[in-house]
Structure 1
Amino acid sequence: MTSNTGELHVRARTQVQDSVASGRRRFLQTGAAGALGAAALSLAPAAVLARPALKLGPDGLRALARDFDGRLILPGQDGYALAAWPNNARYSGVLPQAVAMCANQRDVQRCIRWAGDSGMPFAIRSGGHNYAGFSTTAGLLIDVKAMNSVTVDLKNETAWVQGGANNNDVAAVLRNYPYAIPSGRCPTVGTSGLVLGGGWGFAATHDGLTCDSLLGTELVLASAEARSIDANSHKELFWAVRGGGGGNFGVHTGFTFKLHKVDKVTTFNLSWAPGKQIELLRALQALQLTYPTMISTRSKALPMAAGARPARDSLYVQTLGQFWGGEKELREMLAPLYAVAVPQTADIYEVDYWRGRDYLLTDDPNGLYDIRCSFVKTALSEAAMDNMLTWMTRWPGGSVLQENMGILFAIGGQVKAVPSNATAYVHRDSNFIFEMEASWGPIDKPETVQRQRAWLKDYYDDMQRFLQPESYVNFPSRDLKNWAQAYYGSNLGQLSDVKRRVDPGNLFRFEQSIPLAPKR
């Protein structure tokens, strides 16, 4: 799984009203959306009048529905099951009291105001691909998928993308132009989650992360006020949303991106017969490091079929990627790989950028799965690769082919050209993301699932001696230890300060939301 969305699971808190003389509402430590003072980056009006709390349950939801441009879907109504279904079916049993299909920014404001007043738990969803299920809730599910328009400004070489647009929505418009935005390869992953967590894709090594092309964004704050921010307006918050993860500071309803000129590329998909796994993986990493900004690889070892534990000599190596140049040049660059072993299959195509994008698309991950990831500073050592292959042979078995038992995503190149403190995305000194997964089907018995998840945990823990103690916030895990430090590293303190100023009542709170800095 190569993308993710970083959407949010938030929990509204109970409102307490001050006296009218206070001129604004205040909240307890667990209070809902409140007024932001002057210290809060000047992001809220000077006074926000208190409103009486609304009732929970169907009556309160009907009150929200009466003032709504989109559609509020209740359990049992047409479309509810589809609207409530998350990408990771592990969380499909978490059913909302209602799904608010927002038609515009005003609907988002109404939902945030309503949730703050009522105290009902809520979650916000664009693509619904949050691996850890943070875009699910037993309360109000606020869905922005219908807000999916994309507009191109050729004069300024920018694009406006609404907060509910996914990778396919963006591609459908941009493919008519010689421009692109660095983005992910899963077609229905939401742009919001992608960019807010950083944004990996095959273009990252050449053009940077998705967040590196972000010029501005509109978002709805905890006060239910809408704000436009960029590097010159509310620059601290703009710093934070570029890699701080979805759902920490507000609900994003639109983004302005810098466009990148695109032309010809060469895509490739190579696989080798079982054997020489370490030599091939070492050569693939060397290829990436030799041409860090011109090539982007996703390399892995994997078994031939589902079922029982794979033998080591049955594991084969595969790489998929893109080269920003011609086929002849790429074939010359691949010579060291061919010297190790001639690929069993070698699909190499020089095409225009958008045909290449279509070739590199993956089926959206959709089912029952669990993942872990860390970062590789330079390259996996021989000892690390040997350990990885050993753990693959310990897979306890199951009905689903484990295609992603150990993947190396190239994340260096142009990504490293940006200082680690220039945006909230902190992992700028790494060359690869190392990701591992377990997946299963409905036919697998609970004990099989339990063994798979235990295998994944032990495998991940044992690999940490070879990896950086960091993790990509768009590949989240509820079981990750020290998750805040792993996601944000040296940028955590500044992110917590911004969170305290922008959302002092901690309205946008979920199991792995950025913690508020202590009051000073």
Structure 2
Amino acid sequence: MANIDRRHVLTGSLGSLALGWVAPSAFAGNPLSGPPATAWAALDARMTGSVVLPTNSAYTTAKQLYNPRWDSKLPLAVVKPLNVADVQQAMTFSADNNLIVAPRSGGHCYVGSSTGDDVMVLDLRGIKAVKLNSTKTKATIGAGAGLYNVHVALNKVGRTIPTGTCPTVGTAGLTLGGGIGPEVRGKGATCDRLVSATCVLADGRKVIASATQNADLFWALRGGGGAQIAVVTDLTYLTHATTDLGQFRLSYPVSAAAKVIAAWAAYSQSSHNTTKVTLSLNANPTKTAFMVRMHGVTAPGDQDVDCNALHAMVGVPYLKRETKVDTYMNTVLEIANGDPTPPRRDFTAGSDVLSSVTAASATALIDVVSEGIRRKVNFQTLIGPLTGQLQAVSATATAFPYRNHAALIQWFCPLPVGSSTAYAAARSWIGYAHTRMGSMSAGGFVNYVEPGRTSSDYFGPNLARLRSIKASYDPGNRLQGSLEY
């Protein structure tokens, strides 16, 4: 195989991408033939797991991500390790053959970075064990374990960790980007519960990252997702007890949108930390208007009090009100839209982070969703708080930079599979959203990485340190991520 200078590729033909989003094929340079089949067969023989080549009947399925938009990508191979030793074998092989590696935890990256043309995909979904220590206060979880299965395993002994809501997202991918979910106000981000991680470096060495071992790498793993520094194989977290959870839902007429946004923002700053309310401004099924809804997750017994308090702050009649208490796992499943294994779907998305929610930013939000209706875009606008325990950690204590901010906006557009017209319309609308939010936006959230944005948009003042750590642990730049530091 030709020996390609990756730094030449990144700083030459890809100069415009080198400090921001990188397409899944960008790291590979010119098409590569890769190692011979006999070399791949030898790697397969050394592993407990397997190597899937393009000639294998399982290849088409093995290379798929959650989003079928990336099905056209043709990796050299999909390597499927089952343990840390397998990962070491694979990474040593990639180093010996000068391959670019695309690690995959759950396969949900918004820009398809866990695949690509002429890369070696390292699919970690076979490393999925969930183990607790004797006191059940710590859980060690395989990088490829899906979030719903993690909750099922931990809930059997009455424990859990804070996670996101999509049931098949991989644990490592979520954590490396920070991890924002229903318990963020009460327990902080997923990465805030991380105690240590087992990693394999680009040259095949195994290391432990923690507060006392490879502390710089540990810092980067907590929120520095979007570009790979090391392959994480398992992660150890502090757990907490599960309880039943309260929920409430409120919906309002479009005419009340500004008042709802203002009330939501004030409530998210002032309410006790155990309640998280998500505000959604979504297109209705006919794309003729947007819907104004709030969904709260509370401690059991708080749902009615919190719902009433928030409604009083809105100050206009609601269209619908619901409250309930349910078990922890029923709530997890409900928030996942009732399906622990959702089918693949085509989509595109983006994000903006607000330092504060003002009358001006509320007006901008309403303008953006109104423009989405005018353009007949199928969109969901999900606005979550970045308050509570998330702010108990310094903005420089981990790579996750949003510790003094008010809100995270996700612009999400479901798409017909393979439609270039719908994709272009959705990207145009998301671009309009960024322009309209303007200087009110502090940047984007790396777990919602999107085309056309720079690394500084996602990491702000933490970017310089991330670049230094990346250069130290992966000097050859062989680990592919969705952002190039």
**For this structure pair, what is the TM-score category when the shorter chain's length is used for normalisation?**
0.7 to 0.9
Alignment of structure 1 residues 63-462 onto 2, 5 Å: 63-138=42-117, 139-155=119-135, 157-245=137-225, 247-291=227-271, 293-306=273-286, 310=288, 314-326=289-301, 327-337=303-313, 339-344=315-320, 346-362=321-337, 366-379=344-357, 381-395=358-372, 401-402=378-379, 404=380, 406-442=381-417, 444=419, 446-462=420-436
Cα pair distance change 1:427/1:331, threshold 3 Å = closer
Cα drift, residue 337 of structure 1:
4.9
1:270–1:343 Cα contact (<8 Å) kept? yes
1:149–1:161 Cα contact (<8 Å) kept? yes
Cα drift, residue 272 of structure 1:
2.5
Aligned equivalent of 2:452, options 461, 479, 495: 479
Cα pair distance change 1:409/1:14, threshold 3 Å = farther
Cα pair distance change 1:388/1:146, threshold 3 Å = same
2:184–2:389 Cα contact (<8 Å) kept? yes
Aligned-partner SS, 1:433: strand
Cα pair distance change 1:295/1:511, threshold 3 Å = closer
Cα drift, residue 438 of structure 1:
2.9
Cα pair distance change 1:154/1:269, threshold 3 Å = farther
Give, as a single letter, the amino acid of the residue that structure 2 aligns with 1:428. R
TM-score by length of structure 2 reads 0.87
Cα drift, residue 493 of structure 1:
1.7
Q: Which runs of 5+ in 1 are unaligned?
A: 1-11, 17-26, 32-53, 515-520
> Which region of structure 1 is more displaced relative to structure 2, 393-402 or 258-267?
393-402
Aligned-partner SS, 2:153: helix
1:489 aligns with 2:460: yes
Report the identity percentage: 24
- Aligned counterparts of 1:222 and 1:428: Cα–Cα separation in 2: 31
Alignment of structure 1 residues 502-517 onto 2, 5 Å: 502-510=473-481, 512-514=483-485
Superposition RMSD on alpha carbons, in Å?
A: 2.7
Aligned-partner SS, 2:85: helix
Cα drift, residue 108 of structure 1:
1.0
- Aligned counterparts of 2:305 and 2:471: Cα–Cα separation in 1: 51
Aligned-partner SS, 2:96: helix
Could you report, residue by residue, the CA deviation over 1:479-510 in whole angstroms, capped at 9, with x for unpaired residues? 11xx2212111111222222222222222244
Cα pair distance change 1:399/1:334, threshold 3 Å = closer
Cα drift, residue 395 of structure 1:
2.8
Aligned-partner SS, 1:232: coil
Cα drift, residue 57 of structure 1:
4.4
2:349–2:411 Cα contact (<8 Å) kept? yes
- Aligned counterparts of 1:194 and 1:365: Cα–Cα separation in 2: 19
1:14–1:117 Cα contact (<8 Å) kept? no
Give, as a single letter, the amino acid of the residue that structure 2 aligns with 1:218. T
- Aligned counterparts of 1:28 and 1:136: Cα–Cα separation in 2: 20
Could you report, residue by residue, the CA deviation over 1:154-194 in whole angstroms, capped at 9, with x for unpaired residues? 41611010111110221111111232101111000000011
Give, as a single letter, the amino acid of the residue that structure 1 aligns with 2:265. Q
2:15: which partner in 1? none
- Aligned counterparts of 2:398 and 2:141: Cα–Cα separation in 1: 20
Give, as a single letter, the amino acid of the residue that structure 1 aligns with 2:390. V
Aligned-partner SS, 2:284: coil
Cα pair distance change 1:88/1:398, threshold 3 Å = farther
2:14: which partner in 1? none
1:56–1:120 Cα contact (<8 Å) kept? no
Give, as a single letter, the amino acid of the residue that structure 1 aligns with 2:361. A
Larger radius of gyration between Structure 1 and Structure 2 = 1
- Aligned counterparts of 1:74 and 1:55: Cα–Cα separation in 2: 11
- Aligned counterparts of 2:311 and 2:445: Cα–Cα separation in 1: 32
TM-score by length of structure 1 reads 0.82
Give, as a single letter, the amino acid of the residue that structure 2 aligns with 1:386. T
Cα pair distance change 1:273/1:248, threshold 3 Å = same
Cα drift, residue 28 of structure 1:
8.4
Cα drift, residue 460 of structure 1:
1.7
Could you report, residue by residue, the CA deviation over 1:305-343 in whole angstroms, capped at 9, with x for unpaired residues? 245xx3xxx322011231124134334423415632223
- Bigger helix fraction: 2
1:15–1:117 Cα contact (<8 Å) kept? no
Aligned-partner SS, 2:322: strand
- Aligned counterparts of 2:132 and 2:436: Cα–Cα separation in 1: 47
1:89–1:367 Cα contact (<8 Å) kept? yes
Give, as a single letter, the amino acid of the residue that structure 1 aligns with 2:336. L
Aligned-partner SS, 1:145: helix
